[in-house]
Amino acid sequence: MVEERGLEGVRWKLDDPHATGSTEIWIQPYRDRSLLHTYVRVDRVGRPWPRWMAAVMQRRVRADLSRKLWTLKDELEWPSAATGR
């Protein structure tokens, strides 16, 4: 985690040899529920990617983040065998 922003969410930095960028997550209260918002930015280190490759990389990062967030949601909402809830 790069930056804890309180009610405005959390920001992580992507930093690897081929790409750089950031991901942000924040929760918005909505009626009796919450909405989870995400923002993803990925840029190539060095020469820019062709547009099609940039779109592919954005989709990959978003899909990975989405899978992780849905898994977390499921773990938080489903009854635990250990606790019996």
Query: 40-75: per-residue pLDDT in tens?
Result: 887 888 888 888 988 888 888 888 888 988 888 888
pLDDT tens column, 4-33: 887 778 888 887 788 888 888 888 888 888
Q: Does 78 score more than 60 pLDDT?
A: yes
Instruction: Note the pTM of the prediction, 2 decimals.
Output: 0.60
Backbone angles phi, psi at 45, to 5 degrees: -80, 130
Of the candidates 39, 44, 63, the one whose C-alpha atom is nearest the C-alpha of residue 52 is 44
The answer to whether residues 35 and 28 touch, using CB atoms and an 8 Å cutoff, is yes
HSE-up (13 A, CA, CB side) for residue 79: 4
**Structure tokens belonging to residue 74:** 């499921």
d(CA 6, CA 26): 9
Give pLDDT, residue 80. 59
